[in-house]
Structure 1
C-alpha cells in the first residue's frame, strides 16, 4: 500500500520524514518509524550505557520499522515478527502522532515491549492500528526498542559490566522524548510510561530509580511490575558467568577478560530465547535487571520510600499463566510442587494440604474437566504475577498514590495464534490484552470481529483517559473507583460487559500477603 509523506520534523539531531497512514477529511495521523535515540551499541559500546545518537545531515527517511534486537525465536511471542531482521544496531523508537501539528499539546504514552527481557520488537505492535486507535483517541504514542538478553542484561556484578543496559536504553529514550516530543505535538510534561510483562516490570522499576525523576508522570504496568519474583535480582553475576562458560564456552579469570571475549563475539552468538520453562518452574529469569548501585542505588524497598508516588493504573488478565503449561502428563506430584513453591520452606505439611485443597476447590468450580491443569495454572499465576500485583496496590494505597486496577477478561483465541492450542484455556491469558490496546494483532495477525472492535474501543479509551487525566473514567463518569485500604482488590473487569468488582480472586492474594507477613 502506498502512503504519502508526513511533514518534515526537526529533531535535536537532524530532520526526519515519516509517512501519513491516515488521511481523512477530519483526521490525519503520521508514523515516524526507526528514529535513532542512541548510537548503535557496537564494538567498544557493547556492554556500556547508551549515549545519544549522532547528528546527521539531510532528511532521514523514517518509514520502516527498525531491526529487532538479536534474539532467538519464541514460539509464544514471535509469530507476528518472526521473519523481521534482527541486529545489534537496535536502539530506535517509533512515534505516532496526529497530523495536526498545532500549538495544542497532546499527552504522550511511551510503551516498553515485553518478552522476558530476551525477545520482542516494536514491529510486532504494528503502525496503522496505533494511528487509528490511540492516536485517534488523542495521544502521541512512542514505542521503544532496547537491548535484550545478554546484550541488555549481562552482569559481572562489578564495574566491568554492572548490567541494566536495556534499562539505561529506556532512560535514554525517555530523555529523547523530553527533548523532542514537542515537535510531534506531544506534551513533555504529560508523559505516561506503559509496559507489558517484562516491559511492565521495566516501567515500574524505572519509576523507582532516581535517574528517572521528571521523565514521566504516571505509570501503566501491564502483567508485570517491580514486585514480581522474576523482575529483578540483587545480582546475576554468578548465573551470567556460568552461562558464559557453559553455553558460550568463554573461560576467563577476571571480569575484564570475560567482557573482552564477549565483545569480540559475533552478535548472533549472544542471542537468547525466552525461557518459559524456567519462569514457571523457578519464577525467575537469568538475564534481568539487577540492583547495581547506580540505576538502582539501594534495594527496592528503600527506593520505594524515596520515589515519588505517581498515579498508577495496573492490570492483569483473568488467567495469566493459561498458556505457559501444556495440559499433558500432569500428576498430583506437579500439583504439590506448584503449591509448595508458594509456601515458605518451613511450612508444615498441613499448610500444603490445606492450600492444595483450596486450589482444587477453585479448579473444580471453574474448569472441572481439566482440574489438575487448572490448579497448576491458578497457583503459578498467583506466584509469578497476581500476588505481586496486589503488593504494588497495597504500596500505592499506603503512599497515597491514586491506584486503579483492571482485570482483562475477554478472550478470542485468534489473538494468540497457534499457541492457543497448547492448553485448554478459555480465560484471557498472558498477552491477550495487547491486541485490544494496540488495535491489531500483536502476538499473531488476525481479523477483528465486531466483539473484538468493541473491546478494543473500550481498552483504547481507558488507556487514553488515564494518560490524559490520571483517571481511566470517561469524562463525567466515576464508575471506576480507585483502590483504597478497605478495598485493595477493587477492580474493573474489562471485556464485553465491563463491571466493577470489590475483590480480586475472592481475596486470595491479600490472604497470601497477610500469611507471608
Structure 2
C-alpha cells in the first residue's frame, strides 16, 4: 500500500492504493494521516426501472478510483437546511456535487481508520451502516451544505479512534420517490413475473447494501458479524423495516426520529392511486393498464418521471410478504427466534419544526395551509401510524386526547390552532412511538430524547432548538469551526454525548438501561441535555415533566390493544 499525490481535482490530497483481497485494487482518499475514505463504490446494479437491484460481486474497473462521490437517485431539488456558510478548511477535499444517475445510483462510501487497513489490528472492528433520511422522497449520502457533506464520517471515525473504539462507517445511496417506492397491482405482477420481491425498491436497495457489506466489509477491516445500522427520519424508519426482513445482516439498530410505527407503510389501494396519477399524467388513454402501463412509465424520461403527483411523503408498501403492516403486533410476529436486534430509539424535543412545515403553505409568513389540506395531511399521518388502534376515529372520539393537546375547538378547523396540531403530530409520529415499540419488541429497547440545541444561527427556524434530525449534526459534526464561539463549549459537549452513546452501542454495550413497565412506572428515558453529560430519569414523568408525560400517557392509554 502506497500513498502517491496525483495531478487531478484532489492533487493536494494523496491517494491511498489498497488491495482488497476479494475486490482487488482500489484507490482511496487519504483524510489526514489517520483515516482513509473509499467513495462511490457500486454495491448493486439496476437492470431496469422498477426492477429489484442485484448485488455486485466485483468492481467495474481495477483499480477502482474511489475518491469521488458516486451518483445518487434522480429527484427534484432536495436541499438540506442552509445551516452554515463559510470557507472550506484547507484539509477538506474539494468535493464536487454528486451527479444523478437512475441506474448507477447504488453505491457506498466507506470510512476506515488507516491503522486497520495497514493490518496493525489483528481483529476486525464493528461496523456502522448509516441510512440517510428524506421522507422517502429525496436525499443522498453525499448531500452538501456550503461544500461540506453532512454525512462525511471522517470526524466520527476519528472520535472512535480517540475513544479506543475504532469503527468502520459505511453510508449508502438508495432509490427514492417514485423510482424507489411507487407501487401498484401492475408493478406487483411485473416483479412477480421476474421472480423477485414486489415493490419497496428503495428498502431492498438498502438490504442489498447490507448484503454487500456482509460479503466484503471484512476486507476493509470491518467485522461482518458485528454490524449496527442507523438511520434518521425516513432512514430511521428504514432501519426499523430492515429489522423485520429475513436473514438480517446486522446485530442492532439505532432509530433516530423515525420508526416504521410512526412513518408506516400503506396498503395497495393507497399506492394504486399514486400509480394511476402517474399513468394518467403520461397517457391520453385512461384505459392503459397492466404491463402496458408499466412499459409506459418505464419509457418516460427520468426528469419527467420524478416530477411529483403529490406533495405527500412516500410510504413503503404493505407487501404481504416481508412487510405485514405497521402495528407492533404484526411486525413482532416476524421475530420467530431469539435473534431480534437490540434497538436504541429516540427523537428530538422539537420534532414539531418538521410538522409545522408540513402544515404550512408559506414558511416565511408562517401561513397555515387550508383546513382541507391540513385535514388530508393529518389523516395520512394517522392512517399510516401503527400505534393508533382505530385510525378512522382517532382522535375525534377521544375527548381526553383532544383536551390534552388543546385542540378541542379546532377539530374542524385545524388551521386555527396549527401549532397545537403540529405538536400533536410530532408526538404521534416521532416522540411517543419509541415507548410503544419498547412495550412490544422482544429484545432490548433503549429510549432517548435529544435536547441538545442546534448551534447554527443561519437557519433561524431551528437555531437554539433540538430540531428534527439534529442528532446527525452532532454525530458527523462536519462544521465545528462554523459554530459561533460562544456556543462551542456546549456544542462540543453535545457531540461527545451523542458519539459516546452511538459508539458504545456499536460495541455491544448498553449505554443506559432498557425501558421497562412496572405497574404505572414507565422508564427510564435517557435525556441528552444541552452541553451536559445527560441524565437517566427512571420514570417518564421525571424525564419529560408532568404535562408532557400526561399527554403521552393519554395517547398510549387510548391505543391499548
- TM-score range for the pair, normalised by the shorter chain length: 0.7 to 0.9
> Residue in 1 aligned with 2:105?
90
Q: Aligned-pair distance for 1:333?
A: 7.2
Q: How does 1:146-225 map to 2 (within 5 A)?
A: 146-157=174-185, 158-161=188-191, 162-210=198-246, 212-213=247-248, 215-225=249-259
Task: Say which of 437, 441, 444 aligns to 1:402.
Answer: 444
- Of 435, 438, 453, 2:476 maps to 438
Counterpart for residue 266 of structure 2 = 233
- Range moving further from structure 2, 1-10 or 247-256: 247-256
> Residues 109 and 193 of structure 1 are in contact (CA less than 8 Å); yes or no, is this contact kept in structure 2?
yes
Distance across 2 between alignment mates of 1:294 and 1:360: 40
Within 5 Å, give how 1:107-506 maps onto structure 2.
107-124=126-143, 125-134=151-160, 136=162, 137-157=165-185, 158-161=188-191, 162-210=198-246, 212-213=247-248, 215-228=249-262, 230-235=263-268, 236-249=270-283, 251=286, 253-272=288-307, 278=312, 285=313, 287-296=314-323, 301-307=329-335, 308-325=339-356, 326=363, 328-329=366-367, 345-346=392-393, 351-352=398-399, 354-360=400-406, 372=417, 374-396=419-441, 399=442, 401-414=443-456, 417-418=458-459, 420-421=460-461, 427-441=465-479, 449-472=488-511, 480-486=512-518, 487-495=521-529, 496-497=531-532, 498-501=534-537, 502-503=539-540, 504=544, 505-506=548-549
Q: Is 2:114 the partner of 1:99? A: yes
Q: CA deviation at 1:413?
A: 4.9
Would the alpha carbon gap of residues 6 and 156 (structure 1) be closer, same or farther in structure 2, given more than 3 Å must change?
A: same
1:36 to 32, 42, 51: 42
For the residues of structure 1 that align with 2:172 and 2:100, how far apart are their CA atoms?
A: 15
Contact 2:55 2:211 in 1 (8 A): no
Stretches of structure 1 that go unaligned for 5 or more consecutive residues are 279-284, 362-370, 473-479
Q: Secondary structure at the match of 2:453?
A: coil
Shift in CA distance, 299/378, structure 1 to aligned 2, threshold 3 Å: closer
Q: What's the TM-score, normalizing by structure 1?
A: 0.82
Tell me the distance in 2 between the aligned counterparts of 1:233 and 1:468: 35
1:8 match: secondary structure? strand
Distance 2:330 2:225 in 1: 27
Answer yes or no: is 1:63 the counterpart of 2:101: no
CA positional deviation for 1:178? 0.9
How far residue 309 of structure 1 moved from its aligned partner, in angstroms, is 2.4
**Equivalent in 54, 73, 77 of residue 73 of structure 1:** 77
How far has the Cα of 1:183 moved from its partner?
A: 1.1
Equivalent-residue separation in structure 2 for 1:166 and 1:71 (angstroms): 13
SS in 2 for 1:259: helix
Shift of 1:303: 3.9
Please state whether the residue corresponding to 2:32 is helix, strand or coil.
strand
Number of residue pairs matched? 474
1:67: Cα distance to partner?
2.0
Give the distance between the partners of 1:225 and 1:58, measured in 2 at CA: 40
User: In the TM superposition, what whole-angstrom CA distance separates every residue of 1:110-155 from its partner, at most 9, and x where no partner exists?
Assistant: 1111101111111131243343335654211110111111111111
Residues 432 and 303 of structure 1: CA distance in aligned 2, closer, same or farther (over 3 Å)? closer
- Structure 2 contact 278–309 (Cα < 8 Å) conserved: no
Equivalent residue for 1:477? none
- Rounded to whole Å, the distance in 1 between the matches of 2:295 and 2:527 is 51
Per-residue CA deviation, residues 72-94 of structure 1 (Å, 9 max, x unaligned), is 11355588999542221210001
When residues 488 and 16 of structure 1 are mapped into structure 2, their CA distance, relative to the original with a 3 A threshold, is: farther
Q: Which runs of 5+ in 2 are unaligned?
A: 1-9, 85-94, 144-150, 192-197, 357-362, 383-387, 408-415
Name the SS for the 1:31 alignment partner: strand
Distance of aligned partners of 1:134 and 1:274 in 2 relative to their CA distance in 1, 3 Å threshold: farther
Q: Is residue 58 of structure 2 the alignment partner of residue 45 of structure 1?
A: no
